[in-house]
């Protein structure tokens, strides 16, 4: 009889956007950090995902646990997962589970908003693979992004589900730790976890600063208070990814109790009703037309003034290369006193410029190539100011690795516009991207970004000695796959009625 526990760890992470046309396939996982298998999974140095969290709890030799590493991979958010990738991960997971032999438990990190054209719930599908290979008796503790869309299959197949408790996500490692701790308590016979969950027929876009203020903070704090109640093992709030057009779309409140389903049901219904009462306060504030947003930024005091195009956020699966905001900046550059850094991923343009000497003037079309529904390429003429590689410091930890490889990079000077082009998609154009090509963004007049939550950490959170630096942000209402006006999308698979698509609907938890 074995005296030590054998616990497998695995992570397969992709967040899909139903309105992005670019499918995500295996090369996208390779570019985003690789596909680690076996012993490679244990090398968690510098990473900020759930795997180091799992290892912090179960990786110590003193605990008499054998860690069985299976797979660790993730991609940037994007469109549906390609059928080829689904098949590859299914077959790889099956093979690694068979090679693993007898297991006492599994820690599995998924996103919870992973879909393909054929399978609306890829995360649930992968959990089904685990059950088919290891049966119902092996406990499976699942860590999810809080923007997961919780499905019946996930709840049926997982022994316990834990979500991030923060947005922006600064507790990813801690979520891995929490998930592993719960699994160990299960295996020790200390707890018998049962899950209660309530799905809320509502979708909303992320607020400006996540859960740091406003109604989202209020409801996340509500869940946090419930975690202090005797008998509650964990309580997670899942404000779902709103850009998924799938049958079980909606927010979810999920509580894990120690064999007290009645307590869990009462808690999730109370939080769900509280969220529903606040539903109108989650709606985004009106945005400015792009030209108007640029004009407002040009006349605002201080620097840098941030102008955002949230509808083309690569962190939400959008292509990241739409040109609406760039056109507005170029049209008004002569009225702006100071530099205007802006970034686009454009491998074709980078390849065309790379052989060119610094100081050369070039004319070429940039952007608008990954998804032409929301904008076309724009022709620019500028001076080549810098040509370099794109190894960037991931100061925000959003990529889960200490550095982000943006591929080759070039910077064009178009009068006072500094257009930075990268070979690869970048999750967030944080200050390190601009500094790589010799631009200090905090000294620029306007910084154009395609992100919301991340810029709060990188730009607005700064406390520089220069008291002229401002925290002013103007949001440009541009078209794109992550547009904040959800009524612009044609949802065909979500459950109806669904707020705010059906603004007058009535609902109550438990009914």
Q: Which residues contact 62 (CB under 8 A, 6 or more apart)?
A: none
Most confidently modeled range among 78-87, 403-412, 442-451: 78-87
Residue 458: per-residue pLDDT: 54
Q: What is the pLDDT of residue 431?
A: 79
Alpha carbons within 13 angstroms on the beta-carbon side of residue 310 total 27
Average pLDDT over residues 105-116: 98
Distances 44 to 96, 178, 371, 401, 404 between C-alpha atoms, Å: 19, 17, 35, 9, 16
Q: How confident is the model at residue 503 (pLDDT cuts 50, 70, 90)?
A: very high
pLDDT by residue (tens digit) across 134-156?
999 999 999 999 999 999 999 99
- Buried/exposed code over 263-281 (b: 16+ C-beta within 10 A; e: otherwise): bbbebbbbbbbbbbeebee
Compute, in degrees rounded to 10, the torsion defined by CA atoms 313, 318, 323, 329.
-10
Whether residue 457 has pLDDT greater than 60:
no
- Tell me if 192 sits within 8 A of 159, measured CB to CB: no
pLDDT of res. 402: 55
Of 21-30, 206-215, 229-238, 338-347, give the lowest mean pLDDT range.
206-215
Reply yes or no on whether the pLDDT at 371 is more than 50: yes
Cβ-based burial of 487 (10 A; exposed 0-12, middle 13-18, buried ≥19): exposed
User: Look-up: residue for tokens 């290979």?
Assistant: 133
Summarize the confidence of residues 245-274 as an average pLDDT.
97
pLDDT of residue 462: 44
Q: What is the mean pLDDT of residues 398-402?
A: 54
Question: Distance between the two ends of the chain, CA-based, in angstroms?
Answer: 49
User: Is the distance from CB of 131 to CB of 159 less than 8 angstroms?
Assistant: no
Mean pLDDT of the chain: 91
> Predicted confidence band at 202 (pLDDT cuts at 50, 70, 90)?
very high
Which run of H or E residues covers position 347?
helix 347-353
Closest by CA position to 475, among listed 280, 337, 315, 307: 307
Rounded to whole angstroms, what are the CA distances from 210 to 169, 261, 273, 288, 488?
A: 9, 30, 20, 21, 23
What is the mean predicted confidence (pLDDT) over 3-31?
A: 94
Question: For every residue of 422-452, which 3-state class applies, written as one string?
Answer: ECCCCCCCCHHHHHHCCCCHHHCCEEEECCC
Q: Which residue has the tokens 């996982």?
A: 29
Provide the pLDDT confidence category of residue 395 given band limits of 50, 70 and 90: low
Q: What is the pLDDT of residues 21-51, one digit of tens each?
A: 889 999 999 988 899 999 999 986 778 899 9
Q: Are 108 and 10 in contact (CB under 8 A)?
A: yes
pLDDT of res. 85? 98
Give dist(CA 72, CA 11) in Å, integer.
5
Burial group, residue 346, by CB count within 10 angstroms (0-12, 13-18, 19+): buried
Q: What is the pLDDT of residue 236?
A: 97
pLDDT for position 199: 97
Helices (H), 204-289: 214-226, 261-277
- pLDDT for 466 equals 45
Contacts of 276 (CB under 8 A, 6+ apart): 200, 202, 507, 508, 509
- How many CA atoms does the CB half-sphere of 40 hold within 13 Å? 9
């Amino acid at each position: 009889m074995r005296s030590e526990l054998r616990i497998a760890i695995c992570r397969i992470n992709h967040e899909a956007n139903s309105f992005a046309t670019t499918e995500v396939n295996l090369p996208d996982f390779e570019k985003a950090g690789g596909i680690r298998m076996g012993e490679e999974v244990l090398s968690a140095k510098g990473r900020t995902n759930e795997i180091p969290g799992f290892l912090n709890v179960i990786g110590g030799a003193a605990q008499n646990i054998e860690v069985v590493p299976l797979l660790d991979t993730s991609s940037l958010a994007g469109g549906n997962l390609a059928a080829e990738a689904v098949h590859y991960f299914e077959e790889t997971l099956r093979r690694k589970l068979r090679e693993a032999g007898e297991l006492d438990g599994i820690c599995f990190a998924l996103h919870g908003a992973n879909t393909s054209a054929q399978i609306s719930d890829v995360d649930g599908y992968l959990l089904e693979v685990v059950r088919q290979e290891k049966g119902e008796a092996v406990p499976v503790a699942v860590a999810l992004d809080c923007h997961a869309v919780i499905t019946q299959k996930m709840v049926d197949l997982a022994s316990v589900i834990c979500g991030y408790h923060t947005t922006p996500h600064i507790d990813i490692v801690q979520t891995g730790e929490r998930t592993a701790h719960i699994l160990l308590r299960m295996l020790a016979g200390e707890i018998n976890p049962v899950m209660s969950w309530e799905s809320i027929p509502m979708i909303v876009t992320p607020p400006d600063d996540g859960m740091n203020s406003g109604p989202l903070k209020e409801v996340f704090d509500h869940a946090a208070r419930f975690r202090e109640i005797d008998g509650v093992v964990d309580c997670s709030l899942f404000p779902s990814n709103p850009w998924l057009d799938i049958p079980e779309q909606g927010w979810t409140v999920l509580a894990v109790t120690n064999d007290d389903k009645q307590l869990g049901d009462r808690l999730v219904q109370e939080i769900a009703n509280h969220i529903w009462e606040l539903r109108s306060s989650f709606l985004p504030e009106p945005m400015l037309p792009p030209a108007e947003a640029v004009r407002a930024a040009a006349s605002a005091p201080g620097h840098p003034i941030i102008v955002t195009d949230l509808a083309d956020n690569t962190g939400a699966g959008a292509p990241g290369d739409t040109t609406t905001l760039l056109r507005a900046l170029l049209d008004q550059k002569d009225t702006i006193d100071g530099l205007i850094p802006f970034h686009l991923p454009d491998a074709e343009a980078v390849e065309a410029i790379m052989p060119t000497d610094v100081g050369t003037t070039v004319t070429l079309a940039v952007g608008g190539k990954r998804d032409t529904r929301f904008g076309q390429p724009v022709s620019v003429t500028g001076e080549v100011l810098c040509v370099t590689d794109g190894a960037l410091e991931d100061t925000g930890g959003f990529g889960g690795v200490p550095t982000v490889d943006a591929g080759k990079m070039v910077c064009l000077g178009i009068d006072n516009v500094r257009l930075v082009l990268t070979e690869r998609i970048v999750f967030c154009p944080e200050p390190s991207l601009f500094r790589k090509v010799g631009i200090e963004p905090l000294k620029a007049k306007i910084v154009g970004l395609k992100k919301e939550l991340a810029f709060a950490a990188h730009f607005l959170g700064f406390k520089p000695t220069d008291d002229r630096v401002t925290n002013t942000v103007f949001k440009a209402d541009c078209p794109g796959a992550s547009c904040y006006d959800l009524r612009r999308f044609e949802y065909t698979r979500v459950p109806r009625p669904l707020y705010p698509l059906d603004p007058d609907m009535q609902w109550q938890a438990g009914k």
